[in-house]
Amino acid sequence: MPVPTQTRRGLAIILSSPSGAGKSTMARRLTAWDPSLTFSVSATTRPPRPGEVEGRDYFFITRETFGDHIMNGEMLEHAEVFGNHYGSPRAPVEASLSKGCDVIFDIDWQGTQQIANSAIKQDVVSIFILPPSIAELERRLRERGQDAPDVIAGRMAKSEAEISHWAEYDYVLVNDDPDVCEDRLRNILTAERLRRDRQPWLTEFTRGLSAEFREREMS
Ligand SMILES: Nc1nc2c(ncn2[C@@H]2O[C@H](COP(=O)(O)OP(=O)(O)O)[C@@H](O)[C@H]2O)c(=O)[nH]1
Ligand SMILES: Nc1ncnc2c1ncn2[C@@H]1O[C@H](COP(=O)(O)OP(=O)(O)O)[C@@H](O)[C@H]1O
């Protein structure tokens, strides 16, 4: 039975982790598994890494443009991370959520706190991803091969502070085996969708069951 669209909003699924724990990898896997998921493409003042695509991975903008977006209220949230500015453009997120499309965010704890206190707080499902160990976190950052050694050292230095926010999230997963982690994320998404659709869907469905009861009584 279809879910009435007027009451069904999308979920705002937030992934956070220390740099290198695997949240971008998991966001990519989830959108490949379910192409109806929208990825919230952030704006950043960080320069692009080799292979990153404008509009797919980030909108790469200047500090001045970033400041203008904030002044105009165009950012749902924003934060300074590792010396660069990052923010989630508001309009595409609101458009997707109000159409009933689920949105995935790859943002830090500061942005998560802001969204958890924003107009879309009722849509939020927040997930924190931990690395199996600090040695493995560092190995992943090096293996990714996209950041200079001093940048990696800076990210490692900040990872303990990022990890300290784990308890603020709805779910916490350890990303050891990537297939296991992806499977758990799919399960979370499936369960949260059932929970969201519970009211509108079951109101209709149980009405149908009552009608069936009445028909049986009359026959
Ligand atoms: N608050 C906030 N954080 C963001 C946003 N986009 C990315 N980040 C976070 O900024 C940090 C650095 O991201 P990035 O430069 O891509 O490095 P990576 O995490 O090592 O891949 C990560 O913790 C991201 O989750 C955003 O729009 N808002
Ligand atoms: N479970 C995993 N096991 C081994 N390597 C992983 C795993 N998850 C991600 N990686 C690798 O670790 C590196 C960092 O992952 P990435 O998704 O870029 O992290 P983040 O977005 O959290 O900074 C990438 O090279 C990625 O392929």
Q: What is the pLDDT of residue 118?
A: 95
Tell me which residues have their CB closer than 6 angstroms to ligand 2: 17, 19-25, 140, 143-144, 175, 178
* pLDDT at site 147: 87
Is 133 annotated to bind a ligand? Reply is: no
Question: Is 145 part of a structural domain of the chain?
Answer: yes
> From atom 4 of ligand 1, which residue's Cα is the shortest distance away?
107
Residue 135 lies in a domain: yes
pLDDT tens for residues 134-185?
A: 999 999 999 998 889 999 999 999 999 999 999 999 999 999 999 999 999 9
Residues of the chain with pLDDT under 70: 1-7
34 belongs to a structural domain? yes
Q: Is residue 134 part of a domain?
A: yes
How many structural domains does the chain have?
1
On whether residue 60 sits in a domain, the answer given is no
58 located within any domain: no
Among 106, 114, 141, 151, name the best residue to mutate to test ligand 1's pocket (greatest count of ligand atoms within 8 A of Cβ). Answer: 106
Report ipTM for this prediction: 0.97
- Residue 189: predicted pLDDT: 98
90 is a domain residue: no
pTM of the model: 0.94
Per-residue pLDDT at 8 = 84
Containing structural domain, residue 214: 5-40+102-218
SS (H, E, C) the chain: CCCCHHHCCCCEEEEECCCCCCHHHHHHHHHHHCCCCEECCEEECCCCCCCCCECCCEEECCHHHHHHHHHCCCEEEEEEECCEEEEEEHHHHHHHHHHCCCEEEECCHHHHHHHHCCCCHHHEEEEEEECCCHHHHHHHHHHHCCCCHHHHHHHHHHHHHHHCCHHHCCEEEECCCHHHHHHHHHHHHHHHHHHHHHHHHHHHHHHHHHHHHHHHHHC
Query: Which CATH number characterizes residue 160's domain?
Result: 3.40.50.300
